[in-house]
């Protein structure tokens, strides 16, 4: 896909902060009609769009799409909806199976909230996904954006959405140069997203805005030459595209070092332990691991890990290798050791966390994180 970079010099003049305003009626009409025509021509064929009249499919897609790219979500969505085709099916599912199907998608609290939301929908609405933003907001894991997306897409309610893509399009379209993370600017953007909504087909309009942000109005090098609303775009007209939306300081990333042990029985089964019910990767399964303390070296943490294993098996003295994973706020470095246990070794782990032996063919039924998958790949599991 060709990307055109806008490199016009900014016009000289007074600060533009505060000069942006909501579009007048004619401009709104132009934006709506151009976006609708473009969306009809250019929208991507996505599995949840083929189920536009299924509110449960929209709920599932919107939860999966939180913090996650479309390309990653697609196969998860297809597998999940094939296994749990209705709210009732999901509500009646075992949490372990829900986690197993979510494995690798990240942000696992979403899976727990989705499962709880399905049960709430069955109990409170007889299995029909609620229609209004106010009702949707009472469900676990559903915020203002997700509620607006479900209400507008599934029920054509006049509800705005504001995600990262929409924020980028609207700040540029309206020429808003202030930081969109500030509450005041955020309020203005919500108001603008609502003001722009047409009387009907609000779901399509919202999806068109999101689609434009995802495929044309890109963070760097937006494809303004291909943009259907270029003539209405203030940032384009004022050569301000490169500086809108205003950036900010990057999130500070904390480095975390971890030692992990792949303890194998003679039959190839590996020892897995379940993480606590709260915190990072809550409730998922992983290899026995220890986080390095401040100033601690790997050898000391390896000995501590061996002690916690309490004689289940022996850990090699030298590591099999390292795996690095970057999360939003953390850079995780796993130093991975291999080890052996006898056939009759019991599965147990410190602090009474659940533990079990799992063979390679049983891994797909275990809820594990992408980081754990990478660690397992290192030891050939």
Binding segment (CB under 6 A) for ligand SF4, from list 90-98, 226-234, 315-323, 353-361: 226-234
| Count of residues of this chain found to bind ligand SF4 when the rule CB under 6 A is applied | 14
Is 62 marked active-site? yes
Nearest-angstrom CA–CA distance, 367 and 381: 15
Cβ atoms of 367 and 99 closer than 8 Å = yes
- Which is closer to ligand SF4, CB of 144 or CB of 230? 230
CA pair distance 300, 120, nearest whole angstrom: 47
Comparing CB distances to ligand SF4, the nearer of 60 and 173 is 173
Least Å from the CB of residue 71 to ligand SF4: 21
Nearer to ligand SF4, 224 or 366 (CB): 224
Please give the Cα distance from 224 to 27 (Å, whole number): 18
CB burial readout 41-52, b (16+ within 10 A) else e: eeeeebebeebe
Q: What are phi and psi of 366, to 5 degrees?
A: -105, 135
Min. distance of Cβ 276 from ligand SF4 in angstroms? 44
Query: Quick one: 4 or 191, whose CB is closer to ligand SF4?
Result: 4
**Minimum CB distance to ligand SF4, residue 42 (Å):** 13
Query: How many degrees, rounded to 5, is the angle at CA 10 between CA 178 and CA 248?
Result: 30
Q: Which is nearer to ligand SF4, 189 or 233 (CB)?
A: 233
* Residue 203 burial (CB count, 10 A): 22
Site for ligand SF4 in 296-315 (CB under 6 A): none
Looking at the Cβ atoms of 27 and 314, the one nearer to ligand SF4 is 27
Nearest-approach distance from CB 26 to ligand SF4, in angstroms: 18
Taking the C-alpha atoms of residue 75 and residue 95, their distance in angstroms, rounded to an integer, is: 20
Q: How far is the CB of 226 from ligand SF4 (least distance, A)?
A: 8
Among 224, 305, 371, 378, binds ligand SF4 (CB under 6 A): 224
Contact between 216 and ligand SF4 per CB under 6 A: yes
Which residues in the 165-194 window bind ligand SF4 by CB under 6 A?
169, 172-173
Find out whether 371 and 323 touch, Cβ atoms under 8 Å: yes
Q: Which two tokens stand for residue 225?
A: 């030459």
Show Cβ contacts of residue 174 under 8 Å, excluding neighbours closer than 6 positions. 20, 21, 22, 23, 192, 234
Q: Which of residues 230-259 bind ligand SF4 (CB under 6 A)?
A: 230, 233, 235-236, 241
Measured between alpha carbons, how far is 6 from 259 in angstroms, rounded to an integer? 47
Q: Which of 175, 222, 245, 283 binds ligand SF4 (CB under 6 A)?
A: 222
Min separation Cβ 8 and ligand SF4, Å? 12
Please list, in sequence order, all residues whose beta carbon lies within 8 angstroms of the beta carbon of residue 84, skipping any fewer than 6 positions away: 90, 93, 98, 101
Q: Which of the residues are catalytic? A: 62
Q: Which residues bind ligand SF4 (CB under 6 A)?
A: 169, 172-173, 216-217, 222, 224, 227, 229-230, 233, 235-236, 241
């Amino acid at each position: 896909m060709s990307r055109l970079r806008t490199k016009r010099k900014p016009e000289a003049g007074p600060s533009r902060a505060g000069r942006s305003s909501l579009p007048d009626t004619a401009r709104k009409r132009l934006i709506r009609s151009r976006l609708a025509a473009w969306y009809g021509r250019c929208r991507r064929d996505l599995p949840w769009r083929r189920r536009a009249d299924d509110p449960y499919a929209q709920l599932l897609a919107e939860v999966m799409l939180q913090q996650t790219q479309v390309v990653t979500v697609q196969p998860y969505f297809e597998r999940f909806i094939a296994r749990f085709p209705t709210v009732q099916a999901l509500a009646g599912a075992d949490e372990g199976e829900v986690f197993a199907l979510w494995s690798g998608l990240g942000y696992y609290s979403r899976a727990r909230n989705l499962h709880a939301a399905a049960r709430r929908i069955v109990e409170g609405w007889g299995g029909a996904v609620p229609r209004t933003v106010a009702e949707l907001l009472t469900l676990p894991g559903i915020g203002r954006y997700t509620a607006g997306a479900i209400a507008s897409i599934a029920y054509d309610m006049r509800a705005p959405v504001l995600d990262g893509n929409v924020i980028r399009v609207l700040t540029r379209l309206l020429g808003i140069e202030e930081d969109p993370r500030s509450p005041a600017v955020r309020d203005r953007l919500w108001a603008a997203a609502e003001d722009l909504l047409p009387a009907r087909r609000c779901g399509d309009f919202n999806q068109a805005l999101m689609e434009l942000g995802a495929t044309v109005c890109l963070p760097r090098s937006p494809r303004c030459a291909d943009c259907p609303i270029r003539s209405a775009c203030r940032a384009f007209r004022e050569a301000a595209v490169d500086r809108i939306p205003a950036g900010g300081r990057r999130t500070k990333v904390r480095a975390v070092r971890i030692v992990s042990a792949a303890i194998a029985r003679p039959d190839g089964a590996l020892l897995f332990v379940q993480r606590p019910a709260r915190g990072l990767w809550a409730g998922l399964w992983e290899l026995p691991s220890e986080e390095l303390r401040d100033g601690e070296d790997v050898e000391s943490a390896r000995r501590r890990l061996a002690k916690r294993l309490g004689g289940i098996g022996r850990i090699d003295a030298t590591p099999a290798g390292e795996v690095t994973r970057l999360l939003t706020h953390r850079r995780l470095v796993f130093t991975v050791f291999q080890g052996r246990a006898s056939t009759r070794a019991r599965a147990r782990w410190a602090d009474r966390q659940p533990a079990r032996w799992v063979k390679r063919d049983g891994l797909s039924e275990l809820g594990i994180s992408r980081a754990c998958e990478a660690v397992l790949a290192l030891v050939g599991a």
